[in-house]
């Protein structure tokens, strides 16, 4: 069973995450940041990874701590659920449109954290989406997942105008690429690396 559960408590937030990599995209998300809940729900649905995430934090100051800490724990839990990575496909690619926006993402379950995010229009990082979530939190969230999950992620916005559409296309592209990368490969019963370790 490729499942894991983790929690983290700091002076800024309390986070609990459970993951089932072989799920159906069922989720129960409550982070106290509504737009982030929307994105994590989309991540679960389109990756087919079951997610149960509860987080509270000092959102009266800023959503930054809660989004960051939730993403850290999610990445750690994904990494734990992957275990020794025997038999996974390892690589995933997706291109996802949302009206005028188009995002592309490549995921490598490499064990070597790296994150590249390019193509957003100038000013996207400053947009306040849903009244709480600033555009810059997209990069910060996905980078935190990648670094704590041991993932190499290249995310490119090909085009886009509406800030909401841009972020949603990016999260969905990441989700679809992640789904492909963590799927089991029926032709393989080994670690997909010439090193024998990921």
- Tens of pLDDT, residues 138-168: 999 999 999 999 999 999 999 999 999 999 9
The total number of structural domains in the chain stands at 1
Residue 127 CA to residue 167 CA, distance in Å, equals: 11
Residue 156 in any domain: the answer is yes
Residue 107 in any domain: the answer is yes
CATH number at residue 80: 3.30.230.40
- The pLDDT assigned to 17 comes to 98
Closest alpha carbon to 175 in 141, 131, 125, 198: 141
The pair of structure tokens assigned to 79 is: 């990494």
Long-range contacts of 43-46 (CB under 8 A, 24+ apart): 43/171, 43/172, 43/174, 43/175, 43/178, 44/175, 45/175, 46/96, 46/172, 46/175, 46/176, 46/179
Domain range for residue 74?
1-180
Residue 188 in any domain: the answer is no
Residue 38 CA to residue 58 CA, distance in Å, equals: 19
- The pLDDT assigned to 68 comes to 98
Residue 191 in any domain: the answer is no
Residue 187 in any domain: the answer is no
* Cβ contact 92:107 at 8 Å: yes
- The pLDDT assigned to 1 comes to 86
Cβ neighbours, 10 Å, residue 27? 19
Predicted model pTM: 0.97
Residue 190 in any domain: the answer is no
Low-confidence ranges of the chain (pLDDT < 70): none
Residue 159 in any domain: the answer is yes
Residue 157 in any domain: the answer is yes
Closest alpha carbon to 131 in 170, 94, 164, 108: 164
pLDDT tens sequence across 38-53: 999 999 999 999 999 9
């Amino acid at each position: 069973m490729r499942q894991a559960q983790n929690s983290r408590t700091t002076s800024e937030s309390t986070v609990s995450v459970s993951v089932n990599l072989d799920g159906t995209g069922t989720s129960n998300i409550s982070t106290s940041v509504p737009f982030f809940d929307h994105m994590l729900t989309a991540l679960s649905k389109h990756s087919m990874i079951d997610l149960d995430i509860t987080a509270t934090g000092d959102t009266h100051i800023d959503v930054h701590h809660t989004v960051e800490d939730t993403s850290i724990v999610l990445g750690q839990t994904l990494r734990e659920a992957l275990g020794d990575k025997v038999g996974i496909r390892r690589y995933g690619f997706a291109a996802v449109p949302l009206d005028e926006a188009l995002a592309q993402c490549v995921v490598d379950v490499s064990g070597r954290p790296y994150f590249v995010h390019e193509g957003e229009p100038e000013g996207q990082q400053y947009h306040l989406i849903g009244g709480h979530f600033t555009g810059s939190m997209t990069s910060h969230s996905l980078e935190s997942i990648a670094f704590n999950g041991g993932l190499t992620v290249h995310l490119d916005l090909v085009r886009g105008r509406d800030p909401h559409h841009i972020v949603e296309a990016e999260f969905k592209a990441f989700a679809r690429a992640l789904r492909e990368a963590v799927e089991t490969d029926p032709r393989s019963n080994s670690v997909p690396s010439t090193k024998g370790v990921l």
